Amino acid sequence: MIVNVYGSSYFAWVAAAKLAEKNHQVRIFASAVDKSVSGFSPESEAGLPELLEQQVARGQLHIVDGVLDDRTADLHVVGYESAEAGLAERVFPLLQSHESSLHLLVLTPLPPGAIVEFTHLLKTLSADSGASWWPHVALLPLFTREGTALTDFERPRLFLLGSDDEQITARVMAVMQPFALQASQAMTVPVATAELIRFGINAMLATRMSFMNEMAALAEKLGVDIELVRRGMAADPRVGTDYLSPGCGFGGPSFASELFDFAKTIHEEVDTVGLIDAVLRINESQCEVLFRKLWRYYKGDLKGRRVAVWGAAFKAGTPSVRNSVVHPLLSALWGQGCHTVVFDPQAMPSLRQMYPDEPLLSFSSSVTQSVQGVDAIALVTAWDEFRSPDFTALGQTMKSAIIFDGRNLYDPDLMEAQGFQYFGIGRGESI
């Protein structure tokens, strides 16, 4: 089939590449691609540049710069960032000259109820312009994650299609069947139901993380190691292990923003302030936990100190620093006159671009170099590069062998044996 993909997001690029790999003729409209620090570059997703190149060479994928006069396609796929305003207005010019019914599959994460509004606006724009086409719209909420997006798309845990129209359901399934067959679960539900399922899943995962951060705070006060608590809770099959690790907060380009959208929808539709607001408040506070620990340890005297910051990406496996928890940490340290030395295996170019003139920020080319002469280490992102360095050797180059572990990567007893003062999240010592 012929598939047109519109958008600059990672899920638009991944969808285009994977659909082309399944022998569909795919055109991705790349004129809106934003490769700035706030946007997505295909080069940042592992395996994606190679797959795109392969499919272009096969003639299955065409990257279109601009707008084609011929926009005939069996399926139109919309994959803009959720933050992009006026989605219908942006998409309409790309479809305007079409002369038959349009089948649109929306990948863009939008607040509950937004697809109905999107469809209505498209119909209004079509009627006002005298266009002859009529949109049939379905929603495919993708649960892909940056860093593992290709695998997540190919073999999703859940293939969830939101559709109120048998015609577009059949069209979408004809294109997406290889991925639906690989899914652990596959289901088709009404559009509004699919929207709520997506937000419900993300809200539940966020709730688990914020809950564990609350548990970690309590564990510190009680002198209990949260890691033992986590293992005990996870041993109950009703709880399990996923999203059960405390840390210095969650971020990312869409996760938190989707939660804000969800909370806003709850306020508007139910007229209540509840659980999701609490989850967001807990996370906002947790994003400051490493700074608070540093502040208390040094009794508010951070001016002139040097802190090695390990990790800047919002998660391991991606260079993206969009909505990363590193930003509140850096800003707070700079506000106290503290110099920060950042090392991240992939994210430093993005961070340089975001803070080009910050005098209290410097970058290091390695784990070893980053700690030379520093007062402490603050670990933000759980990269593999940080899991088992030679701490004995590192400590000898530091001014003080102290580490604040924002992801609980290390065993406190082992760190003590290697000569480090260790402070994790809920590891039994309150600071």
pLDDT of 57-111, one tens digit each? 999 999 987 766 666 789 999 988 765 567 888 788 777 767 677 899 999 887 7
Report pLDDT for 35. 39
CATH number for the domain whose boundaries are 2-189 = 3.40.50.720
* In contact, 245 and 408? CB cutoff 8 Å: yes
Report pLDDT for 9. 83
Q: Whole-model pTM?
A: 0.87
Sequence ranges of the chain with CATH classification 3.40.50.720: 2-189, 288-423
Report pLDDT for 101. 76
Q: Which residues contact 134 (CB under 8 A, 6 or more apart)?
A: 101, 102, 123, 126
198-284 is classed CATH 1.10.1040.10: yes
Q: What is the 3-state secondary structure (H, E, C) of the chain?
A: CEEEEECCCHHHHHHHHHHHHCCCEEEEECCCCCCCCCCCCHHHCCCHHHHHHHHHHHCCEEEECCCCCCCCCCEEEECCCCCCCCHHHHHHHHHCCCCCCEEEEECCCCCCCHHHHHHHHHHHHHHHHCCCCCEEEEECCCCCCCCCHHHHHHCCCEEEEECCCHHHHHHHHHHHHHHHHHCCEEEEECHHHHHHHHHHHHHHHHHHHHHHHHHHHHHHHHCCEHHHHHHHHHCCCCCCCCCCCCCCCCCCCCHHHHHHHHHHHHHHHHCCCCHHHHHHHHHHHHCCHHHHHHHHHCCCCCCCCEEEEECCCCCCCCCCCCCCCHHHHHHHHHHCCCEEEEECCCCHHHHHHHCCCCCCEEECCCHHHHCCCCCEEEECCCCHHHCCCCHHHHHHHCCCCEEEECCCCCCHHHHHHCCCEEECCCECCCC
Looking at domain 288-423, its CATH superfamily turns out to be NAD(P)-binding Rossmann-like Domain (3.40.50.720)
Structure confidence by residue, pLDDT tens digits, 112-159: 888 888 888 888 888 888 877 778 999 999 888 888 999 999 999 999
Beta bridge partners of 63: 28
Sequence ranges of the chain with CATH classification 1.10.1040.10: 198-284
Measure the CA–CA gap between 415 and 422, rounded to whole angstroms.
6
What residues in the chain have per-residue pLDDT under 50? 32-38
